[in-house]
Structure 1
Amino acid sequence: MNVIDWLLDADPAIRWQTLRDLTDASPGEIAAERSRVEHEGWGARLLELQDAGGPWDGGALFPAGYTGNEPGQPWTPTVHTLQTLQIFGLDPAGQAARRAIALVAEHVRWEHDGQRYFDGEVEPCLNGRTIEAGAYFGVDVRPIVERILGERLADGGWNCEAENGSVRSSFDTTIIVLEGLAEFERVTGGSEAVAQARRGGEEYLLERGLFRRKSTGEPVKPGYLDLAFPYYRHYDVLRALDYFRRCGVKPDPRMAQAVEVVSSKRQPDGRWLLERVHPGRVHFVLEGGVGEPSRWNTLRALRVLDWWQNGS
């Protein structure tokens, strides 16, 4: 079985993106496969796990009754589940998606101060995720966008710790906000202010080669070079490169080392491995264990390398 066949022998969430990004399948074939996400496999399972009252696992950011004593971060509440459904490519116009989002909008509240879910929270990392999910699923999130534009730091990016006095941007927060603003622009057309902020955040990452400290040139964190899935709130070079690809940004020479990191991890059989699993409670496992072949990493790496090699 070659790599493309291996990817196609998978969940609809992977199959439809493989058809779109790595084959010459027709728009009709791609749309038909995408429509299966709502009714089959991982997408259908996640939709079925939504609580009758609207959230997943009883909360926006934390599960119901969460005490903080369990190992790792719980990845089951609403914010992470909506991100996962979006990564799967659940059709926002589908009946199941419309029903799920209506329940979230009406009933889910942030734990911080009881804000309505799509009114946003106070941290830019959570608001970036809310902007992305809201825009994708057709919710008006313009007030959160306006807020986040005013929270950009002097070096060009964002940091959730700014409220605690940090004046330097964070790779992790910046990529989350960029993904949100890019989705908002894609859906609404955005504005010059949004485009300018997004370009500034992209420049923050590019000036650092997508993983290095500007001051010393050393990698910011070893984990930024590991290919993880799901990535949730965590940064890594493949997530960053896939963001630039998705936005249609022309490959920049400053990405070259990050591309080489991804390319160097290709196995002799043409696949990529799962290198990191962020610990914490999950609804169900999407991949094998660390060190095993990863369809998600392979799909994302192949389309990033195709974008890089073709120059667009």
Structure 2
Amino acid sequence: MVGSSLTDWLLDSDPALRWQVERDLLRLPAEVWAATRARVGTEGFGARLLALQDPDGQWAGGAFFPADFDWHGPEAQEGGQPWTATTWTLNTLREWGLDADALAGTAEKLAANSRWEYDDLPYWGGEVDCCVNSWTLSNGLWLGADVDGIVDWFLAHRLSDGGWNCEWVDGATKSSFHSTLNALKGLLDYERATGDRERVREARRSGEDYLLARGLYRRLSTGQPVGPWALRFGYPFRWTYSVLNAACYFRAASLHDGTGPDRRMAEAVERIRAARQPDGVWLQAGRQPGRVWFEVDAAAGEPSKWLTFLATTVLRWWDDPERRGRGDVPAAVGPHVRPDGSRP
């Protein structure tokens, strides 16, 4: 599957993916992909998730876990994280490019009605987990909530090696690939939404250097791969780290900063390239176990449209210097950004 046949296959998809294919692969005019993006809230996956929102602004009655989650039952014992609660659903809708106007009033409802399962803390204040706080920062910027305090939290909780670790609260002093990548995404979203580069730039650079110094997947101490999960590509990414997930971040950061790719990523990029099948697609490794509202991608072992799109955009950015720094503008966050990327 090459050329136009691959493109046709990717275009034959939900609006949540199709508009990104139109913008980042086909480079169609903004009015074309913006019209497709506007459909995310009215049809397909996006509309289905919007219809599942509770009257109090939450999904599944909880901030991070559904209200009916049995902490001592089979679901908890088997290690399956439910993916239906508020934070996971907001993450998905934001990443799909839903216009924040489709969730008008949600920020206020969550401020009034949603509390974290950890210590019953207020929703928009975040809690102690780096990944949770990163998503709360990004979602709050998108929906117009006051999440400014979370930025200070990240600056205060950076570890001495330059990254972050969600297990800091249990005494961890070394950074985590997973936590650092998720923290970086939130800080980049802050820069993109507010234009305030100075406040978080040093912290973002140190987190990026933590991953780049390790080639995105090797231990600094031994040079050995950090774990098989780093080379396992599954969509949705959710909280898990992979070199593809990291490369997508570095592409977005590069385009925001107006810089080229960092050559320390070279080996990791070749790992992504090596996973491409002869027909030009990438296969779904499988998503993390746990309850979902509905499936949004292929089953394990099958060709994945989402992974194929994401990996193809990474390779295009890496391989073609003429495309670097122009055209591929990642979806902006924040209530004051229109779906076509312009500002009122």
Q: Is 2:219 the counterpart of 1:213? A: yes
Change (3 A) 1:308 1:16: same
- In structure 2, C-alpha distance between the alignment counterparts of 1:219 and 1:40, rounded to whole Å: 42
- In structure 2, C-alpha distance between the alignment counterparts of 1:288 and 1:228, rounded to whole Å: 10
Aligned to 1:8: 11
Aligned to 2:94: 86
Aligned to 1:20: 23
- In structure 2, C-alpha distance between the alignment counterparts of 1:140 and 1:303, rounded to whole Å: 33
Aligned to 2:169: 163
Aligned to 2:327: none
Aligned to 1:67: 70
Please say if residues 13 and 43 of structure 1, whose CA atoms lie closer than 8 Å, have aligned partners that are also in contact.
yes
227-236 or 199-208: which moved more? 227-236
1:268 shift after superposition? 1.3
Please say if residues 118 and 134 of structure 1, whose CA atoms lie closer than 8 Å, have aligned partners that are also in contact.
yes
* 1:81-105 per-position Cα deviation (integer Å, ceiling 9, x unaligned): 111111111112x2x2224333323
* 1:176-198 per-position Cα deviation (integer Å, ceiling 9, x unaligned): 11000000110001242301100
Aligned to 2:331: none
Aligned to 2:191: 185
Please say if residues 61 and 77 of structure 1, whose CA atoms lie closer than 8 Å, have aligned partners that are also in contact.
yes
> Which of 124, 129, 141 is the matching residue for 2:130?
124
Secondary structure of 2:214's counterpart equals coil
- In structure 2, C-alpha distance between the alignment counterparts of 1:97 and 1:88, rounded to whole Å: 14
Q: Is 2:288 the counterpart of 1:285? A: no
- In structure 1, C-alpha distance between the alignment counterparts of 2:42 and 2:22, rounded to whole Å: 18
Aligned to 1:240: 246
1:287 shift after superposition? 1.1
Runs of 4+, deviation exceeding 6 Å: none
Please say if residues 158 and 170 of structure 1, whose CA atoms lie closer than 8 Å, have aligned partners that are also in contact.
yes
Please say if residues 37 and 90 of structure 1, whose CA atoms lie closer than 8 Å, have aligned partners that are also in contact.
yes
1:271 shift after superposition? 1.0
Please say if residues 110 and 117 of structure 1, whose CA atoms lie closer than 8 Å, have aligned partners that are also in contact.
yes
1:266 shift after superposition? 0.9
1:26 shift after superposition? 0.6
107-116 or 179-188: which moved more? 107-116
Q: Which has the higher relative contact order, 1 or 2, with Cα contacts under 8 A spaced 6 or more apart?
A: 2
Change (3 A) 1:193 1:24: closer
Instruction: In structure 2, list runs of 5 or more residues that go unmatched.
Output: 325-344
- In structure 2, C-alpha distance between the alignment counterparts of 1:98 and 1:57, rounded to whole Å: 19
- In structure 2, C-alpha distance between the alignment counterparts of 1:103 and 1:292, rounded to whole Å: 39
Instruction: In structure 1, list runs of 5 or more residues that go unmatched.
Output: none
* 1:172-218 per-position Cα deviation (integer Å, ceiling 9, x unaligned): 01111100000011000124230110011000000000011000111
Q: Aligned runs of 1:23-42 on 2, under 5 Å? A: 23-42=26-45
Aligned to 1:46: 49
Q: TM-score, with normalisation over the residues of structure 1?
A: 0.96
The residue type paired with residue 21 of structure 1 is D
Please say if residues 114 and 123 of structure 2, whose CA atoms lie closer than 8 Å, have aligned partners that are also in contact.
yes
Q: TM-score, with normalisation over the residues of structure 2?
A: 0.87
1:270 shift after superposition? 1.0
* 1:79-135 per-position Cα deviation (integer Å, ceiling 9, x unaligned): 11111111111112x2x2224333323321111122221111122121011111111
Using the aligned pairs only, state the percent identity: 49
- In structure 1, C-alpha distance between the alignment counterparts of 2:275 and 2:178, rounded to whole Å: 22
The residue type paired with residue 23 of structure 2 is R
Please say if residues 177 and 241 of structure 2, whose CA atoms lie closer than 8 Å, have aligned partners that are also in contact.
yes
Secondary structure of 2:45's counterpart equals helix
Secondary structure of 1:129's counterpart equals helix
Residues matched between the structures, number: 310
- In structure 2, C-alpha distance between the alignment counterparts of 1:134 and 1:250, rounded to whole Å: 29
- In structure 2, C-alpha distance between the alignment counterparts of 1:201 and 1:172, rounded to whole Å: 11
Please say if residues 227 and 275 of structure 1, whose CA atoms lie closer than 8 Å, have aligned partners that are also in contact.
yes
- In structure 1, C-alpha distance between the alignment counterparts of 2:232 and 2:196, rounded to whole Å: 33
Secondary structure of 1:63's counterpart equals coil
The residue type paired with residue 317 of structure 2 is W
1:138 shift after superposition? 2.5
> Which of 297, 315, 320 is the matching residue for 1:310?
320
- In structure 1, C-alpha distance between the alignment counterparts of 2:156 and 2:176, rounded to whole Å: 16
Please say if residues 47 and 100 of structure 1, whose CA atoms lie closer than 8 Å, have aligned partners that are also in contact.
no
1:237 shift after superposition? 0.7
